[in-house]
């Protein structure tokens, strides 16, 4: 059964996916990430927005049925009202949801930032479980990093 993010109360948690280039450039290319639960099911019912990092919130929309969301370098996807215990897997893919391929960019690297720090970048897609429960508002951030070939 797919994870459903429709939550009947205001959650203190959000989950953010940020897109970066290793050299801090901001090419005009659109990259795509697929967001699933720990079992690989598309996260249905979730509300999210995409915006440039450091700027105001974008227009809230429902997670697409494919789970694939487009964003550019220095943009982020913010998934709202995430329940404690929710697990997300983030993987960069092509627009159609198939494995990422590019002649221009290297395979992506991933890291995760939590209240405990940031993990070292890895080529393995990240899986994040929202598990911090001290009553503070907490955001978990998955970083997807690309570099030119």
Query: What pLDDT digit, counting tens, does each position of 13-27 carry?
Result: 889 999 999 999 999
Between CA 126 and CA 87 the distance in angstroms is: 10
What is the model's pLDDT at position 7?
A: 34
Kindly tell me if the per-residue pLDDT of 143 is higher than 70: yes
Scan for tokens 């092509």, then name that residue. Answer: 94
Across residues 81-85, what is the average pLDDT? Answer: 84
Q: Kindly report the pTM of this predicted structure.
A: 0.85
Sign of CA dihedral 63, 66, 71, 73: positive
Q: How far is CA 77 from CA 58, 62, 63, 112, 148, in A?
A: 9, 12, 11, 14, 22
Of residues 63, 59, 55, the one with CA closest to residue 15:
63
**Cα–Cα distance for residue pair 133/38, rounded to 1 Å:** 20
2 versus 35: the higher-pLDDT residue is 35
Closest to 37 measured CA to CA, from 83, 3, 79? 3
């Amino acid at each position: 059964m797919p994870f459903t993010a429709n939550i009947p109360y205001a959650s203190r948690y959000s989950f953010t996916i940020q897109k970066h280039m290793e050299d801090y450039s901001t090419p005009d290319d659109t990259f795509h990430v697929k967001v699933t639960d720990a079992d690989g099911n598309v996260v249905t019912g979730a509300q999210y927005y995409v915006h440039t990092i450091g700027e105001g919130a974008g227009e809230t929309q429902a997670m697409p049925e494919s789970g694939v969301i487009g964003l550019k370098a220095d943009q982020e996807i913010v998934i709202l009202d995430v329940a404690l215990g929710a697990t997300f897997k983030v993987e960069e893919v092509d627009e159609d949801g198939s494995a990422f391929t590019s002649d221009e960019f290297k395979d992506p690297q991933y890291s995760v930032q939590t209240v405990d720090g940031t993990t070292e970048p890895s080529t393995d897609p990240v899986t994040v479980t929202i598990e911090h429960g001290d009553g503070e508002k907490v955001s978990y951030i998955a970083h997807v990093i690309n570099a030119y070939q």
